[in-house]
Structure 1
Amino acid sequence: MILNHIWGLYAHPKEEWETIEKRHESLMYSLAHILTIALIPAICGYYAAAHIGWTIGVGEPIKLTETSAMVMSVGMYISLILGVFALAYLIHWMAKTFDSTPNYTQSLELAAYTATPLLMVGVTALFPVLWFVVVAGMVAVCYSVYLLYSGVPIMMNIPEEKGFIYASSVVTCGLVLLVSIMAASAILWSLGLGPEYLA
């Protein structure tokens, strides 16, 4: 089953990382996991933006047109998937520095399962109140970072001391990647590809 590691990552992450490392599923398995989990924020974000409306402070909820919400959701879905692949590439690229020799599939597994809480928290968009989504997002970021720190030594087969430095490097690169995606979004919005609001 595509989603069979999710419960283990929340209930007993270190043991689950060991299970993932022993099995080494195929590239298609990791891809199916990413494609499925990334649907959560895309679908919930679309529904919230087009049908519920976002509440920011006091006042009426802000809604987008259905077409605009669909375009934004598809863009978010593609960006999330590309972001996970870019993170996997960075993990793979940095491996030699830390005396690790993973293949790309192992790096993708680490990136995909580390990103899982960040993608699953997209369900909070169904209660589109800004402060609530931000708090839930921060909790998801913290847990994803924890998963990364606990998973790197196991998945990359390196000592925990090196794993800590490796994971810290990945977090730094991930933050740069996130800022790059946000900058690209701002540029696209300034070129007229921003959202269309309902009056």
Structure 2
Amino acid sequence: MTLVDRVQSILLRPQITWLAIDEEPADAASIYKNYVMILALIPAVASFIGLSLVGIGAFGVSFRVPIVSGLANMIVGYVMSLLMVFVLALIIDAMAPTFDGARSQIGALKLSAYSSTAAFVGGIFSLLPSLSVIGALAALYGVYLLYTGLPVLMKCPRDKAVPYTAVVVICAIVGGFVIAWVLALLTPSPVRLGAVYGVPAMDAAGAVVAVQQRPGANT
């Protein structure tokens, strides 16, 4: 299955696709190389273009993040997005017994990676910073992807999927604030002071990313 086919299938037919993903042989290297590292480029590059090339406009004033700062922001955001996928996989795996699921490191990584699809793809809206809120809304679909995937990959009862999802999403939001803070340190003050700003980072195993893509997230 090609990358485009997998993206379409997980977004449009998640329940069927999770069953196929569960049966696929995979390891951490292949999941990252063939999927996460490619899709995570979308919000990272889009944010760089939107902030440093297109620019931000508000109240008759326009502003562009300097190229060097924009590149630093893009690189750090990209790396931290990759890290968040891994950290959330660890959380998903560790929490499985609490919700009567079965621990599986590779299953948790699959879940974290593929449920982040909506957040990564939604990052394309950061090409126009004023539309980054749409990307944040798209990222919320990742919560549903996570919810539908937990019973399949982590073998938890369906009635435990809701609280399981809630715990993972909370962890993702906390991680998102941390990443937003780190990225804010690299961004010139006009953006930190309230310009509309969308950045990649939080996949939240499906929640991922909404915190940083909404306006004023880096204040």
- TM-score normalised by structure 1 residue count: 0.86
| TM-aligned CA deviation for residue 5 of structure 1 | 1.7
Structure 1 position 109, deviation (Å):
0.7
How far does the alpha carbon of each residue in 1:125-155 deviate from its partner, in whole angstroms, 9 at most, with x for none?
22221xx211x13322320111111111111
Letter aligned with residue 23 of structure 1: E
2:54–2:64 CA contact under 8 A, matched in 1? yes
Corresponding position of 2:21: 20
Residue 203 (structure 2) aligns with:
none
Contact 1:118–1:144 (Cα < 8 Å) also in 2: yes
Task: Tell me the SS of whatever aligns to 2:82.
Answer: helix
Please show how residues 158-169 of structure 1 align to structure 2 within 5 Å. 158-169=156-167
Structure with more helix by fraction = 1
Over the aligned positions, Cα root-mean-square deviation in angstroms equals 1.9
Amino acid at match of 1:44: A
- Contact persistence 1:72–1:195 (CA under 8 A): no
| Structure-2 residue corresponding to 1:173 | 171
Aligned to 1:59: 60
- Looking at structure 1, the residues matched to 60 and 100 of structure 2 have their Cα atoms a distance apart, in angstroms, of 55
Aligned partner of 1:112 in structure 2 is 113
**Runs (4+) off by over 4 Å:** none
Per-residue CA deviation, residues 143-186 of structure 1 (Å, 9 max, x unaligned), is: 01111111111111222012222112111221222223234445
CA distance in 2, matches of 1:176, 1:52: 30
Mapped partners of 1:194, 1:45: distance in 2: 12
Work out the CA distance in 2 between the residues paired with 1:60 and 1:183.
25
Q: Residue by residue, what CA displacement relative to the aligned partner does 1:66-107 show, whole Å, maximum 9, x if unpaired? A: 111111110110111111111111101111222323321111
Match of 2:43 among 27, 41, 44: 41
Contact residue 2 and residue 29 of structure 1 kept, 8 A: no
Deviation string, structure 1 residues 28-49 (Cα, Å, up to 9, x no partner) = 2211211111111111111122
Please state whether the residue corresponding to 2:60 is helix, strand or coil: coil
Q: Aligned equivalents of 1:196 and 1:65: distance in 2? A: 11
Distance (whole Å) between structure 2 residues aligned to residue 95 and residue 3 of structure 1: 30
Aligned residue for 2:8?
7
Tell me which residue corresponds to 1:157.
155
**Cα shift at 1:54:** 1.7
Name structure 1 gaps, 5 residues minimum.
none
Secondary structure of residue in 2 paired with 1:157: coil
Question: Structure 1: which amino acid aligns with 2:167?
Answer: S
Q: State the match for 1:143 in structure 2.
A: 141
> Which SS does the other structure have where 2:62 is aligned?
coil
Classify the secondary structure of the residue corresponding to 1:61: strand
What TM-score comes out, normalization by structure 2 length? 0.78
The range that moved more, 142-151 or 94-103, is: 94-103
- Corresponding pairs, count: 188
Structure 2's unaligned 5+ residue stretches are 191-219
Partners of 1:106 and 1:20 lie apart in 2 by 9
